[in-house]
Amino acid sequence: MLKTRIIPCLDVHDGRVVKGVNFINLVDAGDPVEQARVYDEQGADEICFLDITASSEDRDTLYNVVSQTAQQCFMPLTVGGGVRSIEDVRKLLIAGADKVSINTAAINRPELVSEASEKFGRQCIVVAIDAKHNQSDGYQIFTHGGRTSTGINAIDWAKRVVELGAGEILLTSMDRDGTGNGFDIGLTKKISESVSVPVIASGGVGNLDHMVEGIRDGMASAVLAASIFHFGKYSIAEAKKYMRNAGLNVRI
Amino acid sequence: MINIAIIDYGSGNLRSAVKAFEHTVKDLNTKVSVNITENSSDLDKATHIVLPGVGAFGDCINAINNLIDMREALDKAVIRDGKPFLGICVGMQLLAKIGKEYGSHKGLGWLNSEVVPIDTLGSKIKIPHMGWNNLMISNRHPIFEGIPNKSHAYFVHSYHMTCKNEKNVIATVDYGSQVVAAVGKENIVGLQFHPEKSQTIGLKCIQNFISWRP
């Protein structure tokens, strides 16, 4: 039976982890490679790096981080943030990423999704969707960390990117992100039911019940969380045990 | 002296496969060299041959066919000389006679099998089959030495292999229906999952392959 995936996400800035937890056995808490290794040991099902570096000249640092991680962690690695072209995707895959997440660039030029999936296979192309609730139109997608509205309906967009060749959707609720109040279950369920590909629920996890809800009620295939793991509130192993006790199929 | 040739035909996951092999080799007592190659003549020197693969069936087989003399060299090394061969993911699927992904394409044809879309049987399961699933080992092939039944392996695929000869199937996985997870025939073995991404179990498969003397 296929297992529900738990994916810790690391925000990486200039090759350093932002808000990394100081695990007791870590030499350098800011080192993404070390953080990834700990999550690997704790039983994470995948790892996600989100590059939040503003300038594009620092991309080489990211490739280096990805490459070093891939040398030590033999588990799936998704990398996103600032991916603008086929060349960016190619470089990340060569460095050792298994999946590459595309966000704003897909909105600016949707053909990038089809070009990338035709070239590298749809299994490695993730489209990240940042959605916000809107009174008149249900959910809309936003860019620039939820500040810029695109006027595009989130469900229509999810269907469109899957048609274009996305192999997975990383769905973040901008209303919930950073609040710790739980996933936007309505949004997650709507998107999960609208597309044939797996959906990763993201944005808002504050406790382990939220993770259970994302899968059970939101019908997501995977849950992504950052701060509850980073700050050591829960370990991956604790999260998995909790989810298993709630009747979900997890890999332990 | 073990000489592993990993065939480079532009597949996206080449590096991951190479890193996993290099990592495994470090722990072995015997001297092993891991070589990435697009050169058909390197297959003569090789003792083991690995074909990684992600992407679409047609693109992958075309890319191999476009490497000069590679098809002939593969046939010679694997079929005639009987060298141990490992196909990973699409690299396994290419063993089939036919692949029906974006049209119909001829594969290597070493196994009497076809590659077709995963049958959802009308259920709501997601495609690709993506994530960790339990290996149901039906044949204690040397590739599974020391690997318990129901171990978790990492899968990412939308198409699967159907074998005419059930004996070629050495492991399956439950996803809507019984999906072929591994195949074996004489000196040929294929893994639908990604050993290079399946943590300890995956690295053990790689180690087993390197020690395999079919």
Interface test with B, best of A2, A39, A88, A114 (most B CBs within 10 A): A2
Residues of B in contact with A189 (CB under 8 A): none
pLDDT for A178 equals 85
From residue B4, give the alpha-carbon distance in Å to each of B22, B87, B145, B199. 10, 13, 20, 21
- Percentage above 70 pLDDT, chain B: 100
- Percentage above 90 pLDDT, chain B: 83
Residue A249 included in any domain: no
pLDDT for B194 equals 95
Q: Is residue A151 within 8 angstroms of chain B, CB to CB? A: no
Q: How confident is the model at residue A56 (pLDDT cuts 50, 70, 90)?
A: low
Q: How confident is the model at residue B171 (pLDDT cuts 50, 70, 90)?
A: very high
Q: How confident is the model at residue A20 (pLDDT cuts 50, 70, 90)?
A: low
pLDDT for A21 equals 54
Cβ-nearest to B133 among A2, A74, A167? A2
**Chain B residues contacting A via beta carbons under 8 Å:** 12-13, 15-16, 19-20, 23, 54-56, 90, 125-134, 152, 154-158, 174-175, 194, 196-199, 202-203
pLDDT for B144 equals 98
- Radius of gyration in angstroms for the set of CA atoms belonging to chain A, rounded to a whole number: 17
Residue A24 included in any domain: yes
Residue A251 included in any domain: no
What tokens were used for A143? 């860019």
Q: How confident is the model at residue B49 (pLDDT cuts 50, 70, 90)?
A: very high
Q: Which helix (H) or strand (E) holds A72?
A: helix A59-72
Q: Closest approach of chain A CAs to the CA of B174, in angstroms?
A: 5
Q: How far apart are CA A76 and CA A80, in angstroms?
A: 13
**pLDDT tens per residue across span A225-243:** 988 888 778 999 999 999 9
Structurally, chain A folds into a number of domains equal to 1
pLDDT for A128 equals 96
Cβ-nearest to A3 among B19, B126, B132? B132
Residue A61 included in any domain: yes
Residue A248 included in any domain: no
Beta strand B136-137 pairing with B169-175: antiparallel
The range of the structural domain enclosing residue A60 comes to: 5-243
Q: Is A19 a residue whose pLDDT tops 70?
A: no
Residue A16 included in any domain: yes
Q: Is B38 a residue whose pLDDT tops 80?
A: yes
pLDDT for A147 equals 79
CATH number of B158's domain:
3.40.50.880
Lowest mean pLDDT among A117-126, B94-103, B192-201: A117-126
Q: Is residue A94 within 8 angstroms of chain B, CB to CB? A: yes
Structurally, chain B folds into a number of domains equal to 1
Q: Is A12 a residue whose pLDDT tops 60?
A: yes
Contacts of A77 (CB under 8 A, 6+ apart): A36, A46, A47, A48, A49, A66, A69, A70, A96, A97, A98, A99
pLDDT for B26 equals 87
The burial of A197, by beta-carbon neighbours within 10 Å (0-12 exposed, 13-18 middle, 19 or more buried), is given as buried
Q: What 3-state class would DSSP assign to B140?
A: coil
Q: How confident is the model at residue A47 (pLDDT cuts 50, 70, 90)?
A: very high
The reply to whether residue A121 touches residue B133, judged by beta carbons under 8 angstroms, is no
Q: Closest approach of chain B CAs to the CA of A71, in angstroms?
A: 6
Angle (CA) A142-A146-A152 rounded to 5° is: 10
Residue A128 included in any domain: yes
The range of the structural domain enclosing residue B46 comes to: 2-211
Q: Is A25 a residue whose pLDDT tops 70?
A: no
pLDDT for A136 equals 76
Helical ranges in A96-235 per DSSP H: 104-108, 111-120, 154-164, 185-194, 208-216, 227-230
Residue A129 near residue A154, CB atoms below 8 Å: yes
The reply to whether residue B13 touches residue A76, judged by beta carbons under 8 angstroms, is no
Residue A169 near residue A197, CB atoms below 8 Å: yes
**pLDDT tens per residue across span A207-219:** 999 999 999 999 9
The reply to whether residue B128 touches residue A251, judged by beta carbons under 8 angstroms, is no
* B166 phi, psi to nearest 5 deg: -55, -30
Q: How far apart are CA A200 and CA A197, in angstroms?
A: 10
Residue A250 included in any domain: no
**pLDDT tens per residue across span A132-175:** 998 777 999 998 777 788 999 999 999 999 999 999 999 999 99
More confident call, B58 vs A26: B58
CATH number of A181's domain:
3.20.20.70
Helical ranges in chain B per DSSP H: 14-26, 42-45, 57-65, 70-74, 90-93, 199-211
Sheet holding B113-117, edge to edge: B105-106, B98-99, B113-117, B159-163
Cβ-nearest to A121 among B12, B126, B194? B12
Q: How far apart are CA B159 and CA B89, in angstroms?
A: 10
Q: Is B64 a residue whose pLDDT tops 90?
A: yes
Q: How confident is the model at residue B53 (pLDDT cuts 50, 70, 90)?
A: confident
Interface ipTM above 0.90: yes
Residues of A in contact with B193 (CB under 8 A): none
Q: How far apart are CA B108 and CA B120, in angstroms?
A: 27
